[in-house]
Structures are given as structure tokens and as C-alpha cells.
């Protein structure tokens, strides 16, 4: 008997099984048709993809952005193609497995899986084809413009020699909310535009939060329409209709477009204030901390008128950086072509004074000069006639001349050109320069103080225009290239006027031929090496003659000044070794002379014939320390004299003055003559006795004039001088006391000053105090009432124990906690003060201190300094390290 296996099922279950079987069988039976359809549809899909990509390329050429969904569709097409190609490639093998007319397979499982993959891939291809039509429409209908770069890259050299640190400074400043407007100022050719260009390009390299960087070149011809057009182009406003709008309408359009954006506006080469509101630029400020304005200018005053939050001076390169830039322009091939060229090239580079424009221009000109002779010649040309050097007269000086042309008026331009009479790198005293300007007639002299104020204003204008450089000790100087530019102006632009002949610092060993001088108005022979002036020139138009700083000069012929009827300014100063005892007698022929400067010379006597200088208004005898003979009634004959500078006059020979000299007896006769000078306004004086000082202090006229006072009281027995009496010297700038052997006290009544004067700071103008060899002087307490003191020099004062005496304030304890002397002190020099123990009884801030020098002060163990004294800046302390410590 056999077993019987029986399955019982209902009709529904049977039908489901049949459908499943037939469905799977369909995957097998349709393999061949589905493969053919897959290959056909895949071709259609690739064609659709190519059409879409062509549209994408065309759109991107129009600065449109590819939509993200298009990008996704293309990536899916690429993936499906790879998979479909593989199925089509394997299809022939699967077809070979089919049997029973294609309805069955030798390997049903394998054929089923393959057929199912083909059917699915066919559906995927058909789906992508349908989506492709949508994408083709989408890219035409919904374009998205690609974002423009935040800044337009500007061409420049990749390296910024010497500017990298400033580039980083300004870049950091752009991140500060408080710095909305930033000014970059400096002389022409120094690299301001280069720095601004690198700032512009840095926005392309570094990620920032700014939406737009706009570059505008402003230049001297300021036109708001031009600025608006540059901004409009950058932000897409400019079209034919916009161009026809008014400035006000354009400003509104710009404002509406920019007010919600974070912008950086770069303005290059500003010469005056640009009213950003009228342009339409939203002003950076508390309500707009995300936008910035950075501008370049040659005029520091523009930084003020633009209300710059921060300003950076773009200075000339250091000697090291200047050499690096010059070396780069010349090239290593040339520098290595001769063993002497490197040293000569360094000399040439120094002649450029660190000015990048000059370094680049001269470096390129010398790039293929490969002999030492060519380089030596270049040095000679640069030192004697720089305008003839290749490129300087055509490229450098005309660019720098814009600064000269922009000066406000002809007076300021004349004052600027006058400065080229001084040698290269010469430190020009401001007041001395102003004396010359007044003597020449550039400034009105109806009121001396007004004329001086005007002079200081002009000096400031030239400094702010970067045409003069400010030095310490109230001096200025001309940059070498600026001076060469000024000489170029006088020789090329004004050569028909024959205004200038400048041989200052030319190294002349022989006196120049006087034939050259005949028609000039201003002649400078400063700082040369000739020994004589033996010819007699005829110079009918000469106004200014500079013979100063000629240490080798031994003889001036008597008739030298005979034919100079128009001469107004004569400077013969700083000829310290000049051995003659008298001035040439023909100087008495200088009837038009208004300024005579023989300061810092070894002259011993003023000839009586000088009384014929009836128009003399300024006489400078500073530091003529050998002068002991000034005839009676000579000074009083200068009835128009406004300025008399006799600081340290006769300093070394007071005791030798003869009875017929006004210096005899310590200067009493001199003071009496000075009282009679009706127009005297500026006085510097040296007195040799206390009685002469008393006569001086009894004259309100002289007290109102005094600027500098030197007391040389070696033979005087006075032990106390009432310093309170100096309180009436409103313009006293400098006080010097020397060899007052018996002087014990410069008395000051603190209680009287506090009680009787509304303002206790009574010596407001006093800037410099020097006390030498006053061996019994104990203190200088009166200096607490000199708030603007800048320099204090003490030497060989054996009895001095404290500079400011705490004991003298015992009667006014209310002042003890309020006084803070030396707030403006810059230089403190203490030398050979064996008993000095204290400068002040508590630490002081010393907010402007630059240097303290201490020597042979063995009892001075503490300086009045604390941790805050050098908090904001550095200063130098010179002295014996084992003797001085900071106060706690």
C-alpha cells in the first residue's frame, strides 16, 4: 500500500499563487523586450541630459546659477546610466538561458532576478526622462544669478615690501565696530594706493561678512557724479535712464540699495572732504557698525574733515626694506656683475630716502647698468642735479608736485619753496624759519605775534600736507626727494624768474663764481668747504643769502656785501670756528637788511658801522659766547628792531667786557637801551648780575617781550632770587641759570600763589629749565607751577637734596594731594648732584616722558615711577644701574 499526500485549499488561495507564479514568469518572459526598451529609453535619457546641460552652460555664461534640483537630477542620470549599461552588457548571457520559447529558463532563479532588475531600471529611466522635461523648463523660468565676487580684483605686485605690517593693522581695524571710517595718509609716492589695493584684494582671499567692496578713485577734481557712477556700476544701478537723474535722485537710489547691505567703500586719493551723505552712502556709525569707509590722502587734515575714527600714517620705508625693494628692481644679475656695485647701489638707494616711488623708478633705470662708473655717475647726478636723472623729472616730481599745487595760496607755496635753501636732512628750527619768512616779507608784520601765529599755521599746513616732516626740539625737515622736487620747481617751473640758486651741502671746496649770482633772488651756500669769499659780487635783486654752517670759512672780503642793495635776510650762523673778530665793514651798506643772523659764531665784536642798518628788524646773536664788545648806542640805533635774540651772548667772557660795551657790569646798560626800543616784541636775554635783573623786571615792556632768559651770576653775591617775580613773564619759554655760586634759593611763596591768584599755574609758557653749577641751590620747588615744562637739566648743584621740597607745602596742606608736576616733561637730565635724594615725594604718571638720564647722583635711590608710569609707552632710563630702583 502506498501513502497518499493530499492538500486541500480554497479557490482564493489558488488564484493568489497563480498570480504570483505568472508575475515572476513575466520577469523571465519579458527579459528580451525589456532590454531592448531599456537601451532605447536610456538613449532618450542621455539626449535629454545633454539638452539640459546645454541650457545650464548657456545660463552660467549669463552669470546665472545652476539650480540644486538640476544638479541632483544630473547626478541621478549618471548613476542610472552606469547601472543600465551593465545590465545591457550582461543581457545576452541571460537571454541564452531562456527556453520553451522564452517562457522558461534553464536557471529560473537567476533569470527571474535579472529580469526584475531590468524592469526596475526601465522604470527608473522613464521616470528620469519625465523629470528632465521639468528641469529644462525650470532652468529657463527660475534662473538664479550667481553672486558676484565681493570685490573686483585689482592688479598689483604680489609682495608689499615694508607694508605688510600696516596691511595687517588696517585689516584688523576693519573688524572693529568702533572703526567705521579709516584714513591712510602720507606723502606722494609712499605707497598709499598700493596698500589700499592689497586691502581690496584681501577681501577675495579671506572670508568676511561684507556683501560688497566698492573702489573709487577720487583725485583732485572732486565730482560727486563720478563717485556715484562708480558705485552705481558696482551695485547694478547704471543704465541710460539712471544717468539722466540728478545727484540727489541718484543719492536716494544708492542709499536704498546700500542701507541694508554690509559694504566697504575704498576711496583713493582724496584731497578734500567727500560728503558721503550727498553721494548716498550710509554713514558708518553707532546705527551702522557693519559698513566701512577706507580712504587715502596726502593731507592729514582730510582725516579730520572726513571724521576718521582711525588714521594710519603710511611712512617711507626703513633702510632695510628700502634696500630690499631697490634690490628687487635692479635685479641680482646687475648687482652681481661687479664687486663694487652692491656698495654703490646701497648709496643710491639711500638717496631715495625710503620713498617707494623713487626707489622703483631709479631701480628700474639702473637695472642694466653693470659698471661701477655708471653707478658712481648716478650718485653724482642724484646729489647735484637729481631732476636730470632718468624718470625723476617725468614720473616722480610731477606726481609729487600735486601736493605743492594743492596748497591754499601763493604765500604758502613761497614758504614751502624757501625751505629748499637748507641742505639735505637739515633740522630747521620752526621759529628760525618763521623769522626768515617774515624778513622776506611773506608774512604781514604789523603784529609780531599774529605773524608768528600765521607762520606756525603755515608750518603746520606743510607738515599736514606731508611736504615737511616734524622732528623733535621744535624742528622740521624736508624729505630728500621732496627737496629735490622743490629744487626742480624752482629750476624748471620758475626758471624765468631766477628766484633760487641753491648750492647748499654741495661740498664746494672753492667759492662759486659770482657771475652766477647776478640775477638771483635767493642764494644758499650753506654747508660747504670753501675757505674764502674773496670776490665782490653784484647782486641787485638778491633778497636772501645763506652762508651758514661753513666751518672752513676763514675770510670774507670787506667789499663782499657792497652791491647787495635789496638784501633782506642774511644768515651767517653756525660758523663756530670763524676766526675773525669783526664783521666785514661793507655790511653797513645793506640798507634793506631786515634779518641778520650771526648766531653760534665766534664773533668777538660788533662794528659800530652796523648802526647804518636802519631797517633791521631781527638780530640773532644766540650763543655768540665770545662776543664781549657791543658799542654803546648801537642796539638803540636799530629803531625798528622787533626781535632781539641774545641768549648766551657773551656767555664765556662777561667778565672781560670793556666799559664801552653794553655788556659791561652784567648788562645793566644793555637793559636800559632795550627799554627805549619802541617796536621790540621778542627778546632773548643774558644778564650777569642781580641788579641788571631787577632793572629788567621793573620794565613791563621788557617783561612782555622776554622769551628766553639766561642768568650768568658768577660774580654776584645775591643768595635769594624771588622766582615769584617771574610769574609776570607770560611768554618766558626758557630759563637758564649758570655759575650762580652764592645762589641758595629760587624763592616761591606757595601760600601767596594759592591765595592771591585764581590760577596757580603761573609759569604756563616755561618749557625748558637748565641749572648748572649753582652749588648752593637747594631745590626748585617753583617748578610745580610750570605745568608745560618739557626739559629739565640739572648739573653740578652740590647742595641740592630735593627738586620739589615737601616742606615748602607745609603751610598749604590742601595742595599736597592735588599737585602733580612734570605732566608734560619729556627729558630729565640729572648729572653730578651728590646730595640729591628726591625728585618728588610720590610716584608720578610722566605721561610724555621720553628719557631720564642720571649720573653721579649717589644718594638718589628711587625715581618717582610706578607700574603706571610707562603703561602707555616706553621711555629710556640712562644711568648707574646699581644706584637706582623704582619707587614702590
pLDDT in tens, 476-521: 999 999 999 999 999 886 666 678 999 999 999 998 889 889 889 9
CB 826 within 8 A of CB 849: yes
Question: Do both 482 and 593 map to the same domain?
Answer: no
Q: Tell me the C-alpha distance between 155 and 451, whole Å.
A: 49
Identify the pLDDT of residue 19: 41
Identify the pLDDT of residue 113: 78
Question: Do both 141 and 26 map to the same domain?
Answer: yes
Identify the pLDDT of residue 105: 60
Residue 65 has pLDDT above 70, yes or no: no
Average pLDDT over residues 754-769: 78
Between 719 and 886, residue with greater pLDDT: 719
Residue 459 has pLDDT above 70, yes or no: yes
The total number of structural domains that make up the chain: 7
Helix (H) or strand (E) holding 256: helix 247-258
Burial class (CB in 10 A: 0-12, 13-18, 19+), 544: buried
Between 669 and 5, residue with greater pLDDT: 669
Q: Tell me the C-alpha distance between 586 and 58, whole Å.
A: 92
Give the SS3 label for residue 121. helix
Identify the pLDDT of residue 9: 40
Closest CA to 860 of 826, 886, 887, 883: 883
User: Residue 759 — pLDDT band, cuts 50, 70, 90?
Assistant: low
Question: Do both 832 and 688 map to the same domain?
Answer: no
Phi, psi of 412 (to 5 degrees): -65, -35
C-alpha cell at 791: 626739559
CB 767 within 8 A of CB 790: yes
C-alpha cell at 613: 642798518
Identify the pLDDT of residue 754: 65
Last residue of a domain, one of 313, 330, 350: 313
Query: Would strands 827-831 and 851-855 be described as parallel, antiparallel, or unpaired?
Result: parallel
Closest CA to 721 of 655, 656, 780: 780
Percent of the chain surpassing pLDDT 90: 56
Question: Do both 483 and 511 map to the same domain?
Answer: no
Identify the pLDDT of residue 10: 46
Identify the pLDDT of residue 237: 87
Question: Do both 505 and 488 map to the same domain?
Answer: no
Taking each helix axis from N to C end, the angle separating 356-365 and 341-351, rounded to the nearest 10 degrees, works out to: 140
Q: Tell me the C-alpha distance between 461 and 411, whole Å.
A: 12
* SS3 readout for 373-403: HHHHHHHHHHHHCHHHCCCHHHHHHHHHHHH
Q: What is the DSSP letter of 493?
A: I
CATH of residue 289's domain is 3.40.50.300
CA distances from 397 to 354, 394, 499 (A): 15, 7, 19
Last residue of a domain, one of 604, 635, 666: 604
What residues have CB less than 8 Å from 139, skipping those under 6 apart? 52, 55, 56, 59, 66, 67, 70
Residue 801 has pLDDT above 80, yes or no: yes
Identify the pLDDT of residue 807: 80
In a domain, 611, yes or no: no
Closest CA to 871 of 838, 849, 853, 854: 849
Percent of the chain surpassing pLDDT 70: 86
Question: Do both 366 and 507 map to the same domain?
Answer: no
CB 154 within 8 A of CB 200: yes
Average pLDDT over residues 178-201: 94
Identify the pLDDT of residue 14: 35
Closest CA to 603 of 632, 633, 623, 589: 623
Which range among 328-342, 345-359, 792-806, 852-866 shows the weakest confidence by mean pLDDT? Answer: 852-866
Question: Do both 140 and 246 map to the same domain?
Answer: no
Average pLDDT over residues 712-726: 86
Residue spans of beta strands (DSSP E) within 48-143: 64-65, 98-99, 104-105
User: Residue 150 — pLDDT band, cuts 50, 70, 90?
Assistant: confident
Average pLDDT over residues 584-590: 90
In a domain, 371, yes or no: yes
426: left (phi over 0), alpha (psi -120 to 50) or beta: beta
Last residue of a domain, one of 496, 527, 544: 496
Identify the pLDDT of residue 69: 74
Name the average pLDDT for the chain.
86
Identify the pLDDT of residue 66: 56
In a domain, 724, yes or no: no
Question: Do both 94 and 242 map to the same domain?
Answer: no
Question: Do both 298 and 185 map to the same domain?
Answer: yes
Question: Do both 757 and 886 map to the same domain?
Answer: yes
User: Residue 63 — pLDDT band, cuts 50, 70, 90?
Assistant: low
Range of the domain at 106: 11-145
Residue 863 has pLDDT above 50, yes or no: yes
Question: Do both 81 and 122 map to the same domain?
Answer: yes
CB 755 within 8 A of CB 764: no
Question: Do both 491 and 638 map to the same domain?
Answer: no
Identify the pLDDT of residue 86: 81
In a domain, 134, yes or no: yes
DSSP secondary structure string for all residues of 797-837? -TT--BSS-GGGGTT-HHHHTT----TT--EEEEES-TT--
Closest CA to 396 of 478, 463, 483: 483
Amino acid at each position: 500500500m502506498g501513502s497518499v499526500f493530499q492538500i486541500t485549499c480554497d479557490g482564493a488561495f489558488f488564484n493568489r499563487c497563480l498570480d504570483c507564479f505568472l508575475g515572476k514568469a513575466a520577469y523571465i518572459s519579458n527579459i528580451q523586450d525589456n532590454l531592448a526598451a531599456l537601451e532605447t529609453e536610456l538613449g532618450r535619457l542621455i539626449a535629454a541630459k545633454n539638452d539640459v546641460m546645454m541650457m545650464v552652460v548657456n545660463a552660467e555664461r549669463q552669470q546665472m546659477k545652476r539650480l540644486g534640483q538640476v544638479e541632483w537630477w544630473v547626478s541621478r542620470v549618471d548613476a542610472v546610466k552606469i547601472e543600465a549599461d551593465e545590465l545591457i552588457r550582461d543581457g545576452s548571457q541571460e537571454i541564452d538561458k531562456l527556453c520553451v520559447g522564452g517562457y522558461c529558463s534553464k536557471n529560473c532563479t537567476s533569470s527571474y532576478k535579472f529580469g526584475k532588475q531590468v524592469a526596475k531600471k526601465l522604470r527608473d529611466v522613464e521616470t528620469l526622462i519625465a523629470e528632465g522635461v521639468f528641469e529644462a523648463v525650470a532652468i529657463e523660468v527660475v534662473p538664479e544669478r550667481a553672486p558676484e565676487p565681493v570685490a573686483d580684483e585689482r592688479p598689483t605686485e604680489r609682495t608689499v615690501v615694508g607694508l605688510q605690517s600696516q596691511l595687517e593693522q588696517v585689516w584688523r581695524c576693519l573688524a572693529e565696530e568702533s572703526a567705521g571710517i579709516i584714513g591712510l595718509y602720507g606723502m606722494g609716492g609712499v605707497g598709499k594706493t598700493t596698500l589700499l589695493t592689497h586691502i581690496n584684494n584681501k577681501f577675495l582671499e579671506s572670508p568676511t561678512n561684507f556683501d560688497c567692496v566698492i573702489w573709487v578713485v577720487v583725485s583732485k577734481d572732486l565730482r560727486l557724479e563720478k563717485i556715484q557712477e562708480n558705485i552705481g556700476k558696482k551695485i547694478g544701478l547704471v543704465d541710460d535712464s539712471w544717468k539722466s537723474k540728478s545727484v540727489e535722485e541718484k543719492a536716494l537710489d544708492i542709499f536704498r540699495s546700500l542701507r541694508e547691505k554690509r559694504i566697504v567703500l575704498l576711496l583713493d586719493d582724496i584731497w578734500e572732504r567727500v560728503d558721503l551723505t550727498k553721494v548716498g552712502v550710509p554713514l558708518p556709525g553707532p546705527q551702522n557698525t557693519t559698513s566701512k569707509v577706507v580712504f587715502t590722502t596726502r593731507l592729514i587734515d582730510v582725516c579730520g574733515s572726513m571724521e576718521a575714527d582711525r588714521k594710519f600714517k603710511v611712512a617711507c620705508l626703513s633702510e632695510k626694506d628700502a634696500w630690499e625693494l631697490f634690490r628687487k628692481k635692479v635685479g641680482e644679475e646687475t648687482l652681481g656683475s661687479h664687486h663694487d656695485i652692491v656698495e654703490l647701489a646701497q648709496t643710491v638707494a639711500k638717496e631715495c630716502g625710503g620713498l617707494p616711488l623713487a626707489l622703483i623708478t631709479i631701480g628700474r633705470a639702473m637695472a642694466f647698468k653693470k659698471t661701477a662708473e655708471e653707478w658712481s655717475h648716478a650718485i653724482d647726478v642724484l646729489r647735484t642735479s637729481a631732476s636730470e636723472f632718468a624718470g625723476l623729472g617725468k614720473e616722480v616730481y610731477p606726481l609729487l608736485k600735486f601736493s605743492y599745487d594743492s596748497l591754499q595760496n601763493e604765500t604758502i607755496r613761497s614758504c614751502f619753496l624757501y625751505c629748499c635753501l637748507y641742505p639735505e636732512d637739515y633740522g630747521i628750527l620752526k621759529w628760525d624759519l618763521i623769522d626768515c619768512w617774515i624778513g622776506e616779507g611773506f608774512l604781514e608784520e604789523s603784529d609780531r605775534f599774529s605773524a608768528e601765529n600765521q607762520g606756525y599755521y603755515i608750518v603746520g599746513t606743510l607738515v599736514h600736507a606731508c611736504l615737511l616732516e616734524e622732528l623733535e626740539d621744535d624742528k622740521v625737515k624736508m624729505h630728500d626727494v621732496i627737496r629735490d622736487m622743490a629744487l626742480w620747481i624752482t629750476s624748471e617751473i620758475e626758471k624765468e624768474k631766477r628766484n633760487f640758486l641753491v648750492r647748499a651741502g654741495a661740498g664746494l671746496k672753492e667759492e662759486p663764481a659770482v657771475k652766477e649770482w647776478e640775477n638771483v633772488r635767493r642764494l644758499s651756500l650753506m654747508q660747504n668747504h670753501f675757505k674764502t669769499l674773496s670776490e665782490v659780487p653784484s647782486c641787485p635783486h638778491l633778497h636772501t643769502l645763506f652762508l651758514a654752517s661753513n666751518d672752513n670759512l676763514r675770510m670774507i672780503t670787506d667789499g663782499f656785501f657792497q652791491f647787495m642793495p635789496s638784501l633782506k635776510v642774511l644768515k651767517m650762523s653756525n660758523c663756530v670756528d670763524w676766526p675773525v673778530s669783526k664783521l666785514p665793514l661793507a655790511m653797513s651798506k645793506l640798507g634793506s637788511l631786515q634779518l641778520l643772523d650771526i648766531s653760534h659764531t665766534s664773533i668777538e665784536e660788533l662794528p659800530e658801522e652796523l648802526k647804518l642798518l636802519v631797517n633791521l628788524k631781527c638780530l640773532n646773536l644766540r650763543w655768540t659766547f665770545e662776543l664781549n664788545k657791543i658799542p654803546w648806542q648801537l642796539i638803540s640805533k636799530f629803531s625798528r628792531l622787533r626781535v632781539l635774540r641774545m641768549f648766551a651772548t657773551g656767555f664765556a667772557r662777561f667778565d672781560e667786557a670793556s666799559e664801552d660795551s653794553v655788556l659791561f657790569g652784567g648788562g645793566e646798560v644793555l637793559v636800559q637801551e632795550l627799554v627805549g626800543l619802541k617796536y621790540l616784541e621778542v627778546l632773548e636775554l643774558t644778564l650777569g648780575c642781580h641788579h641788571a635783573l631787577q632793572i629788567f623786571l621793573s620794565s613791563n615792556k621788557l617783561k612782555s617781550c622776554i622769551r628766553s632768559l639766561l642768568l650768568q651770576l658768577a660774580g654776584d653775591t645775591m643768595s635769594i632770587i624771588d622766582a615769584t617775580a617771574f610769574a609776570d613773564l607770560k611768554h618766558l619759554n626758557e630759563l637758564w641759570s649758570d655759575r650762580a655760586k652764592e645762589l641758595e634759593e629760587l624763592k616761591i611763596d606757595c601760600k601767596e600763589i594759592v591765595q592771591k591768584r585764581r590760577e596757580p599755574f603761573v609759569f604756563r609758557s616755561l618749557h625748558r629749565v637748565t641749572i648748572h653749577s649753582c652749588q648752593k641751590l637747594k631745590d626748585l620747588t617753583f617748578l610745580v607751577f610750570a605745568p608745560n615744562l618739557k626739559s629739565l637739566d640739572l648739573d653740578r648743584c652740590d647742595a641740592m637734596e630735593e627738586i620739589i621740597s615737601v616742606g615748602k607745602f607745609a603751610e598749604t596742606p590742601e595742595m599736597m594731594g592735588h599737585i602733580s608736576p612734570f605732566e608734560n616733561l619729556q627729558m630729565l637730565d640729572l648729572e653730578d648732584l651728590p646730595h640729591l635724594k628726591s625728585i618728588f615725594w610720590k610716584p608720578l604718571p610722566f605721561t610724555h616722558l621720553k628719557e631720564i638720564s642720571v649720573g653721579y647722583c649717589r644718594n638718589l635711590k628711587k625715581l618717582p615711577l610706578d607700574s603706571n608710569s610707562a603703561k602707555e609707552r616706553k621711555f629710556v632710563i640712562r644711568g648707574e644701574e646699581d644706584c637706582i630702583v623704582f619707587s614702590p
